[in-house]
Structure 1
Amino acid sequence: MHTNDPRPGFAQRMTKEEINTCPIRRWEGAVHVVRTAAEVSQAVRALAEESLLGFDTETRPAYSKGECYLPSLLQLAGESAVYLFQLKHLGLPGPLREILADPKMIKAGVSLAYDLQELHKLARFEPAGFVDLGTLAKEAEIKNHGLRGLAAVLLGFRIAKGAQTTNWARDVLAPAQIQYAATDAWVGRELYLRLRQEGGNSSR
């Protein structure tokens, strides 16, 4: 389909240097940090109106051998707002598991198998409606499969990485962490929409 496509990322993998020439963009809309049962109910009601969500998780980084942490944050991006669920305070409550198990609600992200495996350590659920952007990228014959590479290839911008290795388990997230986490989820949603255009009717 795109074998002779001359665009960077299609003809050959877009390099880190090429990605770094792209302008930085961030999610600039509403962000809701959710840490109480009442806030979960409110968020889930709003998310129930959506048919497509950008999906991501963040975990506190581990620097020593044998050190590991449960996921700290679950991000879901709708059309006009991003919701950041602080799992440290919430666990993985039933209403949130229902969204993750809803086959009619598409959840788009990268490296989903690992994220879902980690979320299962908090509570069991049957994941449904998940679409891995890396798989869609391969089907569209794009050589970059990660979130940052795909954002550069398909959306023409790059995502700042400054907050990536910060402590996601802190009680109150810093503004830079909130913006980073919201941006990652928003980009997942935008990439799904763009990959649908690239793939035509060849994939869902």
Structure 2
Amino acid sequence: MIVRRTIDKDELKELPKTVFPGRIYVIQSEAETERAVAYLQSRSVIGIDSETRPSFTKGQSHKVALLQISSEECCFLFRLNMTGLTQPLVDLLENPAVIKVGLSLKDDFMMLHKRAPFAQQSCIELQDYVRQFGIQDKSLQKIYAILFKEKISKSQRLSNWEADVLSDGQKQYAATDAWACLNIYNLLQELKQTGDWEIAALPPAPKEREEVTTGPISNQQS
């Protein structure tokens, strides 16, 4: 597999959209949280992401509303604005036996720490991890496009994540982001193990413009 270093916006626009193919579960109670976390604790690697209600007023901010955690088969959307960051979730985030893969994890954890204290363990930041493979882009959308030739829709990013009921579009968007992180990690791990990859060659440097020179103008008088 040839791994490209970057992809431009025009090429990204032309790619087909990807969507999470598994089952999505919206978690709105402590009992549901316990059952979901019991399943996730059995996984060796999970993808994570979070969503916060956007603020359009200066000085106003919101706490994390949604924590998405995905396996290959299903994604759980924990509505933290309804349940808070409960102890089962804290235990999962602190479990060193479960690898958590995400993008911009520093920002996610900074916001999650405002809901409850915890010491996250076994976390992989994709922005750093993909550098081993020569990928220079840092957005989830571009990294995914480079590796899978598909694009992730961002149309729901600024929607209301504290709505009483999440729309189907919101649920699919949230699940796809967490799953995409896991998908990227799994593919890169496979490439690392097989060695069946190489970094795309750099494009040739543009040629310097050749200056047009003319001979000296004669000032001789007859």
> TM-score, normalization: structure 1?
0.91
Partner of 1:108: 101
Q: Secondary structure of 1:62's match?
A: coil
Aligned length: 195
Partner of 2:188: 195
Partner of 1:158: 151
Partner of 1:21: 14
Are positions 1:39 and 2:26 aligned together?
no
- Which whole-Å CA distance do the structure 2 matches of 1:45 and 1:112 have between them? 23
Are positions 1:79 and 2:69 aligned together?
no
Q: Secondary structure of 1:84's match?
A: strand
The answer to whether the Cα contact below 8 Å between 1:33 and 1:84 also exists between their aligned partners in 2 is yes
Percent of aligned positions with the same letter in both sequences? 34
Q: Which amino acid aligns with 1:19?
A: L
Partner of 1:145: 138
Match of 1:125 among 100, 109, 118: 118
Partner of 2:215: none
- Which whole-Å CA distance do the structure 1 matches of 2:160 and 2:11 have between them? 29
- Cα deviation per residue 1:93-114 (whole Å; 9 max; x = unaligned)? 0000111111110111100001
The answer to whether the Cα contact below 8 Å between 1:75 and 1:182 also exists between their aligned partners in 2 is yes
- Which whole-Å CA distance do the structure 2 matches of 1:99 and 1:47 have between them? 8
The answer to whether the Cα contact below 8 Å between 1:139 and 1:199 also exists between their aligned partners in 2 is no
The 5 A counterparts of 1:55-74 are: 55-74=48-67
The answer to whether the Cα contact below 8 Å between 1:138 and 1:145 also exists between their aligned partners in 2 is no
CA drift at 1:130: 0.9
- Bigger Cα displacement from structure 2, 62-71 vs 113-122: 62-71
Match of 1:88 among 69, 81, 89: 81
CA drift at 1:187: 0.4
Partner of 2:213: none
- Which whole-Å CA distance do the structure 1 matches of 2:173 and 2:103 have between them? 16
- Cα deviation per residue 1:40-82 (whole Å; 9 max; x = unaligned)? 1110111122111010000011112211110100000012110
- Bigger Cα displacement from structure 2, 16-25 vs 178-187: 16-25
The answer to whether the Cα contact below 8 Å between 1:163 and 1:180 also exists between their aligned partners in 2 is yes
- Which whole-Å CA distance do the structure 2 matches of 1:201 and 1:66 have between them? 50
- Which whole-Å CA distance do the structure 1 matches of 2:32 and 2:89 have between them? 11
- Which whole-Å CA distance do the structure 2 matches of 1:194 and 1:144 have between them? 17
Match of 1:135 among 104, 128, 133: 128
The answer to whether the Cα contact below 8 Å between 2:22 and 2:72 also exists between their aligned partners in 1 is no
> Who wins on radius of gyration, i.e. which is larger?
2
- Which whole-Å CA distance do the structure 1 matches of 2:149 and 2:178 have between them? 17
CA drift at 1:198: 4.0
